[in-house]
Amino acid sequence: MLCGISGEAPQEPVASKKSGVVYEKRLIEQYVNEHGTEPSTGEALTVEDLLPITSSRIARPRPPTLTSIPALLATFQNEWDSLALETYNLREQLARTREELATSLYQHDAAVRVIARLTKERNEARDALSRITVSGANADEMAVDTEGLPEALADRVDQVHQELSKGRKKRPVPKDWVTPSQVAAFEVTATNALPVAQTTSLDTEGAYAAIGGLQGQAAIYAVAADSLEREISVGEPATTTLWTGSKLIFGTSNGGLKVFEAGNQVAAASEHAGPTTGLSIHPSGDIVASVGTDKGLILYELDSLKRVSRTYVDASLTTVAFHPDGHLVAAGTVTGDVKLYMTKTLEQAAVFKLGAPIQALAFSENGFWLAATAKGQNSVTVFDLRKEGDAATAKVLETGGAVESLAWDFTGQYLATAGPSGLTIQQYAKGAKKWTEPFRNSTGAVAVRWGESGKTLVAVNGDGVVSVVGVKA
| The three-state (H, E, C) secondary structure of 75-104, written as one string | HHHHHHHHHHHHHHHHHHHHHHHHHHHHHH
Range 116-133 average pLDDT: 79
pTM above 0.95, yes or no: no
Range 340-369 average pLDDT: 93
Residue 15 near residue 21 (C-beta atoms within 8 A) = yes
Return the percentage of the chain with pLDDT > 90, whole number: 67
- Claim to verify: residue 192 and residue 274 sit in the same structural domain: yes
6-15, 89-98, 231-240: least confident range: 6-15
Q: Would 63 be classed as within a structural domain?
A: no
- Claim to verify: residue 227 and residue 341 sit in the same structural domain: yes
pLDDT tens per residue, range 72-83? 888 888 888 888
- Claim to verify: residue 289 and residue 338 sit in the same structural domain: yes
14-23, 244-253, 319-328: least confident range: 14-23
- Claim to verify: residue 108 and residue 175 sit in the same structural domain: no
φ/ψ region of 295 (left if φ > 0, alpha if ψ in -120 to 50, else beta) reads left
Closest CA relative to residue 317, chosen from 289, 285, 345: 289
Count of alpha carbons within 13 angstroms of residue 169, beta-carbon side: 4
What's the total number of domains in the chain? Answer: 3
Q: Would 160 be classed as within a structural domain?
A: no
Residue 90's pLDDT is what?
92
- Claim to verify: residue 218 and residue 352 sit in the same structural domain: yes
The DSSP string of 395-430 is EEEE-SS---EEEE-TTSSEEEEEETTEEEEEEEET
Q: Is the pLDDT of residue 387 over 70?
A: yes
Residue 57's pLDDT is what?
61
Residue 139's pLDDT is what?
42
The DSSP string of 144-169 is -S-BPPPHHHHHHHHHHHHHHHHHHT
Q: Would 418 be classed as within a structural domain?
A: yes
Q: Report how far residue 50's alpha carbon sits from residue 20's, in angstroms, rounded to the nearest whole number.
A: 9
Residue 333 near residue 349 (C-beta atoms within 8 A) = no
H or E element that contains 50: strand 50-52
- Claim to verify: residue 92 and residue 197 sit in the same structural domain: no
Residue 286 near residue 153 (C-beta atoms within 8 A) = yes
φ/ψ region of 305 (left if φ > 0, alpha if ψ in -120 to 50, else beta) reads left
Q: How confident is the model at residue 132 (pLDDT cuts 50, 70, 90)?
A: low
CATH of the domain at 8: 3.30.40.10
Q: Would 330 be classed as within a structural domain?
A: yes
- Claim to verify: residue 294 and residue 413 sit in the same structural domain: yes
Range 347-372 average pLDDT: 93
Range 278-288 average pLDDT: 95
Domain, as residue range, for 226 = 165-471
